[in-house]
Homo-oligomer: A and B are copies of this chain.
Amino acid sequence: MDYIKIPMDIEKKSFEIIGSEMGESKFSEEELLIVKRVIHTTADFEYKDLIYIREGSIEKAKELLKKGITIYTDTNMALSGINKKALDKLGCKVVCYVNKEETHEMAKEKGITRSMAAVETALEEGVEFFVFGNAPTALFKLKELTEEGKGNPAFIIGAPVGFVGASESKVEIEKLQLPMITVRGRKGGSTVAAAIVNALLYMLIER
């Protein structure tokens, strides 16, 4: 059978198709890299109407990534989807605390979800870059704790998916006056969150 076998060729061709089918858009060139990568990951063009990129947020994310920071993810799936070679090149690392023993204990003790407990731990450790693809409760928690002055998030990707709280969690997090990229409405997910991180990473490195 005759089919393209080179991953980078497949990606290039995919992005061309996405660009031609998307047509006109309001996005800048860098914003488009994010939007197209999400569509590439989902084959769902609706994302072009759901992705919200706050002004100056791409610059802030790049500034943080260039420092070689730690990235919080709410699930191991989002963690898996982030390109490790790209992270290595920038000296960044990614953590997910959701299955840690301490997280289980804190969640049980406080009667909160493990994702919420994981956010508390990350803020205590000074993590600044937060990625959510799954857990609305974790986004609510991040907003609460930030408003209480318990932590200093500097950039947020808010992309929980779902029917209970997901949409609301993104409305809430947008009330924080911080650099962020969100996926509005019910859609989102770990692959979407990881795609946004990868799009940012690929702005900074040669692949």
Question: Is B161 a contact partner of A43 (Cβ separation < 8 A)?
Answer: yes
Report the Cα distance A55→B102, complex, angstroms: 45
**Provided the pairs A43-B166, A43-B188 are in contact, do residues A137 and B5 lie with their beta carbons within 8 angstroms?**
yes
Secondary structure at chain A's binding surface: helix, strand, loop or mixed?
helix
For residue A111, which residue of chain B has the nearest CB? B5
A57 at interface (Cβ–Cβ under 8 A)?
A: no
Report the Cα distance A159→B112, complex, angstroms: 34
Please provide the chain A residues from 83 to 136 with a CB less than 8 Å away from any CB of chain B in the complex: 111-113, 116, 136
Of the candidates B81, B113, B186, the one whose C-beta lies within 8 Å of that of A190 is: B81
Could you jot down 11 A-B contacts, CB within 8 Å? A1-B172, A3-B168, A4-B137, A14-B163, A17-B163, A41-B189, A43-B187, A44-B44, A75-B80, A80-B80, A189-B191
Binding site for B on A (CB under 8 A): 1, 3-7, 10, 13-14, 17-18, 40-44, 75-77, 79-81, 111-113, 116, 136-137, 140, 144, 161-166, 168, 172, 185-191, 194
